[in-house]
Amino acid sequence: MSFKPVRVACIGLGWWSDVLADAIKRSTKLEIAACFTRSADKRSKFAAKYGCTAAPSYAAILADPSIDAVINTTPNNVHLETTRQAAAVGKHVFLDKPIANSIADGFAIAKACRDAGVVLGIGYQRRREGQFRWIRQKIDAGVFGKLVNAEANISRDRLGQFDLSSWRYTAAGMPGGVMLQIGIHYIDVLEYLIGPIKSVTGSLAQLILPGDNPDVASLILEHENGALSTVNASYASAAEYYLMNIYGKEASAYYDLHNGLRMQKRGTSKPEPVAVSKIDTFVDELEEFASAIRGEGTPEVGGERATLSLAVIRAGIVSAEEGRRVVVAEILEREAK
């Protein structure tokens, strides 16, 4: 039985829309039928680049019965409105992370899609990278033993690349700054590898970049299984860098951008390099979304899961503001309404 491609419309049309559209073009499971953003120039250029229709309005996309789903990269503060509208007419939604800026909106997005019976997928591609899939398999096989600690770093150089007119770099558009925009990826990976996070102690700083939002952030996380982990995120470092070290009683894994993945077992003198498969993570998550629409499985990260990751960030923001350890359950209870 052949797989009928899922026809999607891309909305938002910032630079991330192109990243996802490029991935769609690498897939046979989805095809771009239409696009919309408020800028006529942007949507005409996107339509020409990807061979789709430049819709005159979002309402026109919603009214088009040939469109199965929406690829939504609009600003965080309109995720709820745009997703509700799509769900109301039976269109599935792939929504770029974070799910929203607030816990209430996150749960409302999840409920709107659940009540409408449409698929909701959230764009958390980093958990799909080969090194993290490999580590997860070894954790499941018991190779690491009891997990005790982890450290993560996700850093980028944004000096001279900062657009203060972009919602992504303002406190209103991206509360929590760098930790919400990119740090949340490694929050998701740590939850994926080690398990749910119970409490957060956070510190945020604005050191280099202009504007009103943190460009450096650090969180100490306590997982429900007792393990501790740290996440550092920066837009103010000299170069791009990624690190994720996982420590277990019987083995540890070390990953960084320049040296790849290594593993060291108890009793050995040094870590050994590990070759892992290269995964096209964007195609992987989008094809999973398409398969779910066709009735094959469910997205790995849906609305509730994404809202829990958002709650960790919100706990970190409150911790930094109030100078205390914050339990994630407190945030969920306080901010869910």
Contact 34, 290 (CB under 8 A): no
Phi then psi for residue 264, to 5 deg, are -130, 125
Look at residue 1 in the predicted model and tell me its pLDDT.
Answer: 52
Q: Which helix (H) or strand (E) holds 192?
A: helix 184-194
Look at residue 171 in the predicted model and tell me its pLDDT.
Answer: 83
Could you tell me which of 71, 74, 57, 56 has the C-alpha nearest to residue 12? Answer: 74
Write the CB contacts of 165 (distance below 8 Å, at least 6 apart in sequence): none
Burial of 144 (0-12, 13-18, 19+ CB in 10 A): buried
Q: Which whole-number Å values give the CA distances from 52 to 42, 63, 202, 301, in the listed order?
A: 13, 16, 44, 28
Torsion of CA 147, 241, 301, 26, to 10 degrees: -130
Report d(CA 118, CA 203) in Å as an integer: 38
Burial of 9 (0-12, 13-18, 19+ CB in 10 A): buried
Taking the domains of the chain in order of start, what are their residue ranges?
Answer: 6-125+283-299, 130-278
Torsion of CA 88, 94, 97, 103, to 10 degrees: 30
Say how many C-beta atoms besides its own lie within 10 A of residue 60's C-beta: 14
Reduce the secondary structure of 78-122 to three states and give it as a string. Answer: HHHHHHHHHHHCCCEEEEECCCCCCHHHHHHHHHHHHHHCCCEEE
CATH of domain 6-125+283-299: 3.40.50.720
Compute the chain's Rg from CA coordinates: 20
User: What is the DSSP secondary-structure string of 236-298?
Assistant: EEEEEEEEEEEEESSEEEEEETTTEEEEEETT-SS-EEE------HHHHHHHHHHHHHTTS--
On the question of a common fold for 6-125+283-299 and 130-278, the answer reads: no
pLDDT tens-digit readout, 3-53 = 799 999 999 998 899 999 999 999 999 999 999 999 999 999 999 999 999
Contact 309, 192 (CB under 8 A): no
Report d(CA 30, CA 128) in Å as an integer: 19
**β-pairing verdict for 272-274 and 326-327:** unpaired
pLDDT along the chain (337 residues), means of 10: 88 94 98 97 97 98 98 96 98 97 98 98 98 98 98 90 76 91 97 98 94 93 98 95 98 98 98 97 98 97 98 98 98 93
The arrangement of secondary structure in 130-278, i.e. its CATH architecture, is: 2-Layer Sandwich (3.30)
Report d(CA 32, CA 165) in Å as an integer: 28
